[in-house]
Structure 1
């Protein structure tokens, strides 16, 4: 790292997976000044934050807690409002920590005021974008909702406008996949202001695939989906494809928070499909140990961290080409790539993976994929290089 200055970054994020690894890495580099998060006091992730290592600052949390409840119970009609209010809450909370900072990094939608205050104070701003450009994102969701015959959840115009202002006013934009990067560029964002940092492997304890007992997962063909039960995730196509595959002794488990805008009726699932609801980390890891295959059938997904989680357990990933995580998969070598919005593509993939020898062949290559991901510059090195490119 070129810069010798310490504690120069204010990092702000809601309660989403990879942000705690980012905050930890910035802290290890002695770069983190403050970590401002919307995590509620009931969040298991907050309980794991070591305040001696990470200078953790909690925002007021009123709307962050409300937003978490709305997502947990699938109250779709409230989601646009709580998401917007949560973004404002986090943005307002961040501004007061900018004194003496050199960089402020914020989650998309949560930083218009912080960007402007940072500019006034001579501080660089970075907006982290995890989905495609908001115009592409909303167009895709509207199209998919129409095909499902349901009303799209949408986004408040005020939040959309905040995101577009951030794209324009931030000094830099950070993303983790070419899918997001290309979408931004296609919508007029200069490639010069975009920075890329790949997501790291999750910090799960895992067994080496090569050391897994051949029959450790039993004779039943176990298929897993992890994510919000939402039409954006392509749940309708997964259910149709699973049924079309007609695989004997198979079970599909759906894990994630519910949504009334899923395009499917969770109360009328086939007998070999189970909905297990949202799970904490320990229970979720048990599902990965159970699964033979993970399917991510998204019609739009900036990345899809569940793919990294799955391969860390030697679970064969079946990934939509519309997801950013498709970029790390080599089709039919360490996973299967499927077409978005195609139940037939899913059925073909599952029929192929029903064969144990085929699964084993792909599983043997998963360790190489993990080694390849881990062989890239570490997260700390990537973030250190990011800071050097900004200052």
Structure 2
């Protein structure tokens, strides 16, 4: 894909990400956001913990956890100190630079966002998941129901200090960037002003996710699950729905991802079913979609799962819960069920299994939606959110008293 023409009014963006930029998970989201901003002609100064995958033509780069060309692991100084140091360095760059907007990530942006506000720059905080209090509650209840303990080191283990830090960031931010209505709802119910929730979206990479020709009549009907194999993503519900469906008699359910030992032991009997094939982590997800008719993702808590974007780009029909944050319209480009509604999901699997007409219709719907789900399309939404925030901040500055611009420590 060639570079796009620079916009008439290019933005100067300070983008702060405290982890390995371009690494798996959030690092991938951050990389695509910055890559598309630069590709569209905007000027990005990146402050990252370290860079695993570079983006050419950045305006500036600061790696806060790299000394002498070597990355300092978070464990060396502790994650909290590493994030605090990153925030300190990013805030210093805001104070001495010239930017139109500042974009920060969780747990490492309170000072950075406060510095932006002090200079009259809109500071936007990425919100990749639901409100942490909501996430802690949903995940904790499901683990308890299954008789499992939430891993202590995991981000969804209850952490009161994290709630305090995130609340500081929410207060310091001009607005919050939310990738789905599901995420927005968890903030609205906690009293957040809807005008401070700026909707954008994530995307998929057209270079790695391609539409496969599924003309092999001998290939069995195939469902696929991709992601961490954990209660939060509802894999146990996916297995129950699959095994209760007619599809499990002759079809196959491919599971890509890593398990915790306790969760795998809990599901051992179901995983041993002849129609279920556990394949482990896959580095190139496009290969998994190439074999599949449907994606199963019955999440109980999620921000906006990247696999739901990828599936549609590959022509795979997403069967997802409302909690997945998917860009899916029911019966148009996928099927939606309520979180935990195994019976509904099982009936939807059967519909896909038995009706070639429905499969064609929903696959066509997914492919028609796909162009609006790329990272390039996501960049249009992100830049629109930036410009909306800049306009709102400018309006505030025109009418504000000096005391209105002060923020707490």
Q: What TM-score bracket applies, with the shorter chain setting the length?
A: 0.7 to 0.9
Q: Deviations 1:237-282 (Å, cap 9, x if unpaired)?
A: 11111222252222222222333564754655223323222222x3
Which of 31, 39, 42 does residue 28 from structure 1 map onto? 39
Q: Which is higher, the Rg of structure 1 or of structure 2?
A: 2
CA–CA separation in structure 1 for the residues paired with 2:72 and 2:235: 31
CA–CA separation in structure 2 for the residues paired with 1:83 and 1:320: 33
Structure 2 gaps, min length 5:
1-5, 66-70, 152-156, 391-409
Q: Which residue of 1 aligns with 2:201?
A: 198
Contact 1:37 1:58 in 2 (8 A): yes
What is the SS of the residue equivalent to 2:45? strand
Q: Which residue of 1 aligns with 2:97?
A: 100
Contact 1:252 1:273 in 2 (8 A): yes
For the structure 1 residues 197 and 85, does the alpha-carbon distance in structure 2 shift closer, same or farther, using more than 3 Å as the test? same
Residue 342 of structure 1: CA displacement?
2.5
Residue 194 of structure 1: CA displacement?
1.6
For the structure 1 residues 83 and 307, does the alpha-carbon distance in structure 2 shift closer, same or farther, using more than 3 Å as the test? farther
Query: Which range moved further: 348-357 or 377-386?
Result: 377-386
Q: Deviations 1:308-336 (Å, cap 9, x if unpaired)?
A: 101111111101012211xx323233211
Alignment of 1:125-164 (within 5 A): 125-153=123-151, 154-164=157-167
Alignment of 1:224-263 (within 5 A): 224-246=224-246, 247-260=248-261, 262=263
Is 1:118 the counterpart of 2:123 in the alignment?
no
CA–CA separation in structure 1 for the residues paired with 2:232 and 2:135: 10
CA–CA separation in structure 1 for the residues paired with 2:349 and 2:79: 36
Alignment of 1:142-221 (within 5 A): 142-153=140-151, 154-208=157-211, 212-215=213-216, 218-221=218-221
Residue 296 of structure 1: CA displacement?
0.7
Structure 1 gaps, min length 5:
68-80
Q: Deviations 1:213-233 (Å, cap 9, x if unpaired)?
A: 4327x4312111111111110
Q: TM-score, normalised by structure 2?
A: 0.78
Runs of at least 4 residues off by over 6 Å = none
CA–CA separation in structure 2 for the residues paired with 1:243 and 1:86: 45
What is the SS of the residue equivalent to 1:108? coil
What is the SS of the residue equivalent to 2:12? coil
Contact 2:34 2:44 in 1 (8 A): no
Query: Which range moved further: 100-109 or 4-13?
Result: 4-13
Query: Which range moved further: 308-317 or 133-142?
Result: 133-142
Residue 297 of structure 1: CA displacement?
0.8
Q: Deviations 1:333-376 (Å, cap 9, x if unpaired)?
A: 321112211222222121121125132232122222224557x9
Contact 1:148 1:263 in 2 (8 A): no
